[in-house]
Structure 1
């Protein structure tokens, strides 16, 4: 990376900004779609025991 000019090198602030925008985009997408019933069914409810 030493051969790249300073403007083209990956900066820590750039990585941090990209990560924060990714989190914001994922949160916004979840808010718009709102799959709360799927999240509840998948992660919060205990599976029922099978009865024969």
Structure 2
């Protein structure tokens, strides 16, 4: 039983691999969806000032 618990212990390489897979999955999702217009409007363009 002790050997089984040692095998299930979380290792730093496991965390690094999970983070890299998460980045890859997020990048792939953005590539498939391609919300470029929304990203540009949200983050890059400045809103026009309101005129009274």
Q: Does the alignment reach a TM-score above 0.5?
A: yes
Cα drift, residue 15 of structure 1: 0.4
Q: Distance in 2 between matches of 1:35 and 1:5?
A: 44
Gaps (5+ residues) in structure 2?
none
Q: What is the aligned-residue RMSD (CA, Å)?
A: 1.1
Higher relative contact order (CA 8 A, sep 6+): 1
Match of 1:26 in 2: 26
Q: Distance in 2 between matches of 1:44 and 1:27?
A: 19
How many aligned residue pairs are there? 49
Q: Structure 1 residue runs of 4+, over 2 Å off?
A: none
Cα drift, residue 6 of structure 1: 1.6
TM-score (norm. length: structure 1): 0.88
